[in-house]
């Protein structure tokens, strides 16, 4: 009986330690305001394109930028708008306007519609998951 208890205890201890390590890995590293500003400045020069039919979800960063996920949360894209949108934070859905074969690009007049108003896209840049989590965490902290 004692041996069985000890083996269960050790098993649960190892499981708890493993889950704690996994949770620590998924936490994004915190970034400073200067690092955030440098990242955003770099990403506002992006010229990537996204197929509109693959856009699955989005997360608002501030009143001028958001992260689009296409086709899954594993493929984030930083999107910057040319002008600010006070509606972006409270929008329930966004529409996409594309002039090119369903590709959304930061040139050629492609835009997002937020609460019926058109916002031209200024930049699109592919992110890695870690950077996307860092940007979201920084904006949630504000």
State pLDDT tens for residues 18-59.
Answer: 444 444 456 667 889 999 999 999 999 999 999 999 999 999
Residue ranges of domains in the chain: 30-141
Question: Given a cut of 60, is residue 10 above it in pLDDT?
Answer: no
State pLDDT tens for residues 75-84.
Answer: 999 999 999 9
Mean pLDDT of 65-89: 94
Distance, CA of 64 to CA of 54 (rounded, Å): 22
Mean pLDDT of 105-119: 92
Please tell me the pTM assigned to this model.
Answer: 0.78
DSSP string of 33-84?
Answer: HHHHHHHHHHHTT-B--EEGGG--EEEEEETTEEEEESSSTTSEEEEEESS-
């Amino acid at each position: 009986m004692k041996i069985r208890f000890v083996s269960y205890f050790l098993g649960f201890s190892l499981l708890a330690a493993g889950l704690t390590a996994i949770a620590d890995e998924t936490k994004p590293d915190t970034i400073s305001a200067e690092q955030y500003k440098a990242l955003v400045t770099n990403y506002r020069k992006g010229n990537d394109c996204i197929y509109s039919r693959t856009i699955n979800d989005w997360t608002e960063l501030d009143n001028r930028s958001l992260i689009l996920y296409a086709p899954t949360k594993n493929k984030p894209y930083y999107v910057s708008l040319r002008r600010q949108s006070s509606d972006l934070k409270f929008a329930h859905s966004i529409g996409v306007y594309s002039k090119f074969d369903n590709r959304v690009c930061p040139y050629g007049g492609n835009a997002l519609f937020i609460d019926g108003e058109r916002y031209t896209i200024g930049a699109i840049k592919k992110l890695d998951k870690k950077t996307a989590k860092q940007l979201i965490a920084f904006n949630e902290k504000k």
